[in-house]
Structure formats: C-alpha cells, structure tokens
Amino acid sequence: MTIKRLFEEAERLLSEAGLKGVKISSPRSPEFGEAYTPYPFEEARRSGGNPLELAEKIASRLGRGELIGRVEAAPPGYINFYADWKKFSEYTLREVMRLGARGYGGSSEGEGKVILVEHTSVNPNKALHIGHARNVYLGDTLARIFAKTGHRVYVLNYVDDSGAQMASVILGFLELKMPMEAPTGVRFDEYCGDQVYVEVSRRVEADRSLEERLRALAKRIEDRSSEEFRYARLVADKVLANQLLTCWRLGARYDLLFRESDVVVSGLWAKTFNLLLEKGIIYLAREGANRGCWCVDLSSHPTLSKEGDEILVKSDGSTTYVARDIAFALWKLGESDVKITGKVWGRNLDNTPITITDTESGSPITLPKPHMVLTVVGSEQRRPQEVVRYVLSRLGVDGGRYVHYSYERVSLSPESARRLGLETAEGKAVQMSGRRGIYFKADEVLDELKRLAAEEVRKRHPYWPGERVDEVSEAIARGALRYSILKSEAEKTVIFDLREAMRLEGDTGPYIQYTMARSYRILEKARDAGIEAKPTPYGDLASEEWMLTRSISFLPQVIETSAKTLRLRQLITHSREMAVHFNEFYEKCPVIDGGEAAPFRLALVQAYITAQSSAMELIGIPVLQEM
C-alpha cells in the first residue's frame, strides 16, 4: 500500500526522535501534505506549552525518509509530511503495476475474520423496487469491500416467506380464486405484487371479515404438515426465481438463501423460545392489549421500555417476524446448536453455488462462527432490530457482533415518476406504497435508463451493431443507477432522477465510465505510436500529474477505512475524485504528443486504469473501454 508506506516512514522518523506510537492521519487538503500528526497541539494542551513552538522544535529534529521529501510545522501545532514526488510517484506506479486491478487496494486486515452480510430479504410476493435495490447495492458493496480487505465473507438472503404479506398472496390464490398463472408477457413476481397483492389489500379494506381469514392463513403457512405451507412454498420459490434475476442484474451474488419459514419448521424457533423462557426474558401477558401473547420484557431497556413490550408470539400461536429474527440472529452468530439443512438451489453469474435451506432434504449447513453479522434493513426496522440486539445481550451474546446496517427510503423525482407513467403532485417526490401498487420496479427503472443510454450511444456510434449498443447501454444503465443510489450516505433519503443519473458530467456513474473509456483510448493511440510505459518520472511533475498520482495512492487506505467504518460514500467520492484528477491530467498533460514525458504519463494512465478498475469493481460499476 503506497500511502501506508509513507505513513510508516513518518512514524519511524518520529520514533527516531523519541516519539513512539504517535498518531498519523490523512490531511483534508493536499496543501497540508500527504500525512500529518496533531501530536504537538495535543501535547501542548496537556502541558500548557506553545503548540506551534513545540511542532517547530520536533520538526527540526526529524530526518528524511525515502518517500518523504520535507517536513513542516504548521499552526496551530501540527507537523505535516510531504511526499518527494519523483520517488513517491515511481514507487506508486510500480506498486500498482505489480498488483494489478485485482490486487491493488486489497489488504490482509481481515485475515482470519468471518463476516456474514444479510441483504435483500424481500417478501417473495412482489418484484424488487428501487428501495430494495438500495438494500441490494449497500449489502453487495459491503460484501465486496470486506472480501477485498481479506475477510472471509458469506452473503445471505433471508427469504421472508412467512407473515401477513405472504399470506395475502396465498389468500388471493386459494380463497379468492385469482388465477395462479401470470398474464402473457408478465413475470410472476410482477403479477403477484402488482395485481394479486393489490387486489387482496383492496378487498380486505372493503370487507373486514377477510382479516380473520388472513390471520388464520398466516398461521397455517407456518405448519409444515398443512397444504397451505406447501402451496406457500411453491409460490415463494417461483417468485424467488424471478427476484434473483433482478438481483443478478443489480450485480449481487449469494451464498445462502435462508427461508424464513424454516426458522419455525426446523425447530430453531422452538429451541429459541425455550431458551428465552428459561432465562426469564419473555412472559405470557395475562391482561391488557397483549393478553394471551408471549412478549419480551423491555422494562430494563433505557428507551424501548417507554414504547411497551414486544410481542413475539400472538394469542393465536403464530410468531411475529421479530421472534423469527431473534432465532435467526442466534443461528447467524453461531450461538445456536440447531442443525439447518439445505441443498444447492442454483448458481450465481460467477458460477459459485447458491444453497437454499430445506428441512425435508439436503445436507447440514455449516458456517464458521462470524466476527460480525451485518443485517442490511431499512430504518423503519430500527426498533425491531434493537429488540433483537437487546435480547441477544440478555442471553449473554456480544451484541456488538450483530450490526443493523440501517438506510433510508428511495423516492422518485416528479419528472422521473411521470416518465414511468405516474401522475404526481406538482413538485413533490413520489414515495412508494405496495398496498396501492405504487412502486417503481428496479427492472423498470433500469430499462428506462437503458433506453436513454441507447439514444446517446446510437448518436455517437451510428454504425455499431444492435448487440453492441444493447451491451453498452445496459452497462451504462447499471452504472448510473448503482452510483446514483450509493453516492448518498445510507442515513440520507435518496430522491432518484433518471436524467440526472445519466449525465456524462458531474457526480454520476456514467462520468466515471466515460473517463475510463477516455483512458483506454489513450492506450490504444499509444500502441499505434509505439510508446512504451515507464514509471520513472522525466523531471519535475506537473501539478496535474502529482494530484492524479496522489489520488491513486490513497485508494487502498480509503478501501480499508470503508471496511472499518462501514461508510461507503468515501469510496464513491474517491472514485469520482480520481476521475476528476484524470480529466484534469488529460486536458493539461498530453501523452501521445508528450515528448520525453510520454512514457511516464502513459504509465500514469495505466495506473489510473488499474486503480479505477479496482474501485469500480467494489462499487459495482461496469468498466467500459468505449462508450
């Protein structure tokens, strides 16, 4: 890791001056160098001395490193370390060339640690919408980053085939006699969500007597011996097959599909219930609104106690999703001895196998005990997830290993909603509602982005065959949607706009893809001109050259920090910053006509391609050599 070596040099220089274990950090701006320490400021605050004088005194005692060109004291009491750009750029470029896109940015920080990432987890009664896409993108990107930093990663999809939403679809088929087959040209997941679920919701609102039938059905689909259970599983599996087509299009892959219904039928919930009862964590309510229900006693929780206890088992004996989540959390964390069996369901696009739980056949599923479990689920589940963590802690399980990765909703801009066929209130973003059938399917949004991309691709390449236009347009659409969703912090609401996401300039995925296509064009011209890349600088670097080198060198640190903090925006931002610096370099530093500078500049272009390819792979943006 190039910048890490400079940090190590700074630490060594300070250690040789008698200051061991001093913290080294990255400055916010290049004007403050490539590394700095606030040690003089912090020490002067403790001792009462002058921080700047102390910084100057320490800086004067420091030697020089191989990659560090100068050291300066700066007010109010910092020491800044600046790279020797001739040496640092050659070291960086050689390191990037040696490691390649697959290796550059990687580390062994997570070696020996297992991470479970659960994402997607959609009820198998509908097609995925763009809110689900955000869940997929967040979980998949986290999994990629953890793998890049040396962790052993398992990706789980908790298939929510229990509860009221699933029961609604089954009610439509079994009791309201809606056709089981989707209309011609309509996918089964779309049919269940757009027509069956909406119609059942409408009828339940109009006829409250159906609510009782719905509750009874929700209970029966938990009974392994019932016909309703087998029928629900048939429907869920059929929807799941369609949903995974969308997930693969979004760039995801999975190791395990865990059916929520198997939490109950496997005995995992029964074992968990007995454990909770034994530990005095749950009780049977004898009176009040929760009469006849088994509830978690939350009286000792500092905040949840104000909102009342949590129901785990309803008075009719059916479990709530919080109950099932607690049992599943214990299993994920390796804290349950219940054996879950499974079988191979199919394969991901990368040809790795996908296992699905199956209590009637298959082999035992064994996962190593994880260092951490990440559950990617929306902010509306904050309370239930906190209940899970609280129960885990009451059971003596380290709650810090169980992380709720929360995120906010995705809405569509008014103009984009209209493009997708929905009339909106003037100037207002459109939120989704499954009950009313107002939700924007991920495939539908991707298809519209692809259509917009194809229009531009055909303008630029009128002689391209249709297959090539289709391939490039699909890649642009995927990059546009993924970047647009990921560029906001998870705790921020996303208002997605189709036109904004497709811009070739600004904070967009296509901007990064276009910059990569530009860089590949330089390689092509360099081959024709017979120029060979050499990482040795020709002389003093232009500011555009060292800024590009600098941004490339910091990528491994950014990736490592993202894995530690679980914040993805810094990686997204850094990828764009590399693209910005490349375009500034492209405009000011000619490569083909660069004379004696051409070999070094060509090596810098190659290093950019390698680094940006590494970043784009983690973010999930397809690399295009021409667009």
Q: What is the CATH number of the domain that holds 52?
A: 3.30.1360.70
What does the pLDDT average to over 472-498? 95
User: Are 54 and 17 in contact, with CB atoms under 8 Å apart?
Assistant: no
Query: Looking at per-residue confidence, does 457 or 439 come out higher?
Result: 457
For 251-289, what is each residue's pLDDT tens digit?
A: 999 999 999 999 999 999 999 999 999 999 999 999 999
- Whether omega for the bond prior to residue 76 falls within 30 degrees of 0, making it cis, is yes
Q: Which two tokens stand for residue 365?
A: 């599923």
Q: Is the pLDDT of residue 224 over 90?
A: no
* CATH value at residue 199: 3.40.50.620
Instruction: Write phi, then psi, for 238 (nearest 5 degrees).
Output: -70, -40
- The tokens for 580 are 């910005």
pLDDT digits (tens, 9 = 90+) for 337-381: 999 999 999 999 999 999 999 988 889 999 999 999 999 999 999
Quote the domain boundaries for residue 447. Answer: 412-501
Q: What percent of the chain has pLDDT over 70?
A: 97
Helical residues (DSSP H) of 428-508, grouped into ranges? 442-460, 466-486, 498-501
Which of these, 466, 455, 612, 622, lies nearest to 96 by C-alpha position?
A: 612
pLDDT (tens digit per residue) in 393-431: 999 999 889 999 999 999 888 887 787 776 665 667 777
Residues 368 and 266 in one domain: yes
Which among 235, 266, 227 has a CA at the least distance from the CA of 168? Answer: 235
Last residue in a domain, options 62, 83, 104: 83
Q: Say what percent of the chain tops pLDDT 90.
A: 82
Residue pair 81/68 in contact (Cβ under 8 Å)? The answer is: yes
Residue 209 or 36, more confident: 36
**Strand-pair partners of 318:** none
pLDDT at 480 over 70: yes
Q: With 80 as the cut, is the pLDDT of residue 573 above it?
A: yes
Asked if the structure places residue 197 within a domain, the reply is: yes
- The Cα 263–Cα 277 span in angstroms is 18
Residue 487 and residue 525 in one domain: no
Q: What is the mean pLDDT of residues 312-324?
A: 93
Report how far residue 582's alpha carbon sits from residue 85's, in angstroms, rounded to the nearest whole number: 17
What would the DSSP string read from start to end of 499-553? HHHT-SSSSSHHHHHHHHHHHHHHHHHHHHHT-----S-SSSPPHHHHHHHHHHH
Can you give the pLDDT at residue 416? 79
Closest CA to 624 of 506, 459, 471, 501: 471
| Average confidence (pLDDT) over 153-161 | 96
Of the candidates 384, 499, 418, 489, the residue with the CA atom closest to the CA atom of residue 452: 499
List the single range of 72-81, 242-251, 421-430 with lowest mean pLDDT: 421-430
Residue 463: pLDDT over 80: yes
- For 41-50, write each residue's pLDDT tens digit: 898 888 888 9
pLDDT of residue 526: 97
- For the chain, how many structural domains are there in total? 4
- Give tens-digit pLDDT for 90-121: 999 999 999 999 999 999 999 999 999 999 99
Within this chain, do residues 467 and 511 fall inside the same structural domain, yes or no? Answer: no
8 and 29 fall within a common domain: yes
Of 501, 524, 550, the residue that ends a domain is: 501
Tell me, yes or no, whether 477 and 540 share the same domain. Answer: no
pLDDT level of residue 2 (50, 70, 90 thresholds): confident
What DSSP state is assigned to residue 541?
Answer: P
Q: Give the chain's length.
A: 627
Assign 155 a pLDDT band (cuts: 50, 70, 90): very high
